Amino acid sequence: MNNQEILDKISNATEDLTNLLPNLEDLDQNKSRTIIKRQVAAFEGNFVVWLSSILITAKANKTKEETLKNLSEELEGNHAWLLRSFAKSGNALPDKNDFDYLENEISMIRELVSEMSGLKNLVLLTVLEDTAPNCMAIFQKAAKLINADDTRYADMHYELDVEHSQDFKDSLIKEIQYYDNPEPLIDDAINKSLGLLKKIWTL
């Protein structure tokens, strides 16, 4: 695989999810709370773990350097709390039904991470970061509909995730050089990443 083919796979995954996202004019309070609850259920307790897995499993120094920078921002900015605070301010914290709804998809991601493949874990985070800006635009509209008064999470990530996505794409080009047959690994990680994202955004 050449570099452009790798990047095209990521772009195609982002486009695939974008086509599923609701139109801003179709959002209402119920739909807004549903997607925010699912976002919290999926990522509040998992994102840092999935991100940290790259530090343990990646082979390229570039990958580890960019991941450490991203992880430092995540921890110093207390992004998990910002997500929860955003949801709480709009009465959109998840309940058991939201966790149950996503259980299979989250379990599949955890199994993927447990394979200890630096490439798969990097692809996972690249897809999550590359799709995030379009999702954050919807969260910003959703925040208004549910009268959430703490929008720091959506506002911050709307800009940050563009930068993070590019950093991970650059790392992906370096990381792939250590794998003899990377395409099946990339495809598997993309499919499972999209599986979770599509479950979150299917209304």
pLDDT tens-digit readout, 23-55 = 999 999 999 999 999 999 999 999 999 999 999
- What's the distance, CA 95 to chain centroid? 20
Position 158 pLDDT exceeds 80 = no
Is the pLDDT score of 145 beyond 80? yes
Distance CA 73, CA 71 (A): 5
Q: Please report which confidence band the pLDDT of residue 8 belongs to, taking 50, 70 and 90 as the band edges.
A: very high
pLDDT digit string, tens, across residues 75-104 = 999 999 999 999 999 999 999 999 999 999
Long-range interactions of 88-91: CB distance < 8 A, separation 24+:
88/150, 89/148, 89/149, 89/150, 90/32, 90/33, 90/36, 90/142, 90/143, 90/146, 90/147, 90/148, 90/149, 91/33, 91/146
Enter the pTM of the model. Answer: 0.95
* Least confident window among 114-118, 137-141, 189-193: 137-141
What pLDDT is stored for residue 115 in this prediction?
Answer: 98
* Whole-number percent of the chain with pLDDT over 70: 100
- Mean pLDDT, rounded, of the chain: 95
pLDDT class of 124 with cuts at 50, 70, 90: very high
User: 161 pLDDT exceeds 90?
Assistant: no
160 against 22, higher pLDDT = 22
**Tokens for 106?**
């989250």
- Residue 197 DSSP code: H
Assign 130 a pLDDT band (cuts: 50, 70, 90): very high
The CATH H-level (homologous superfamily) assignment of domain 25-201 is Heme oxygenase-like (1.20.910.10)
